Amino acid sequence: MPAKTRLTSQLLDKFIEILAENGGIVCDAADALNVSRTGLYAKREDDENFKTRWLDAVDRGVDLIEDEARRRALVGTDHPVIHQGTITDSYKEKSDFCLGLILRGYRSQFRQRTEISGPGGEPIQTNVTIYLPENGRDDADQKMGVTRDVKPSKAKNRRKTPKPDSRPGSTKT
């Protein structure tokens, strides 16, 4: 792999130009000039003017993408008609998907809204049960409002007999 090219002011100008033309795709613009993305990002952090130019170029690039989406939605794209291996005609196909994206961007009534609620529009009620192991964390139990009938044993080398699992749906005994 060849070494990356040193960043010069002419190279930075060309990077900004390519960035605006390619829809704001940084890795493609950097690769086209054989420059390091890491170096470009570092330059952007250090140089406020370069950062402003970079962001402006990305905006212009996104404008190009928006223009292309609008063209595909309203004008369409050419598709060939092939009969027995030969192109006999062509037709334009408009993109309903692009049209929908554009409408969602500009008109709130076309945006997708999702609301999740409980019965009658009330907030969803949740119950959380936390099972803590018997590990001597009495202070954690108190903070969480957990009460225990039996305190855990602090004796070492003492064999504990497992307690039956009393959780709902448990098959252990």
CA distances from 173 to 46, 47, 133, 150 (A): 66, 68, 17, 18
Half-sphere exposure of 82 (CA within 13 A, CB side): 5
The Cβ of residue 98 has, within 10 Å, a number of other Cβ atoms equal to: 19
Please give the single-letter amino acid code of residue 77.
T
Kindly provide the residue ranges of all beta strands, DSSP E only, lying in 21-129, ordered along the sequence: 77-83, 86-93
pLDDT in tens, 13-35: 999 999 999 999 999 999 999 99
pLDDT in tens, 71-80: 999 999 999 9
pLDDT band of residue 2 (cuts 50, 70, 90) is low
Place of tokens 């033309």: 21
Query: Rounded to 5 degrees, what are φ and ψ at 6?
Result: -70, 145
Q: What is the domain partition of the chain in residue ranges?
A: 9-74, 77-110
Note the maximum CA span of the chain: 90
Measuring CA to CA, which residue among 69, 67, 56, 75 is closest to residue 15? 56
Measuring CA to CA, which residue among 14, 104, 21 is closest to residue 60? 21
The Cβ of residue 54 has, within 10 Å, a number of other Cβ atoms equal to: 23
In this prediction the pTM is 0.56
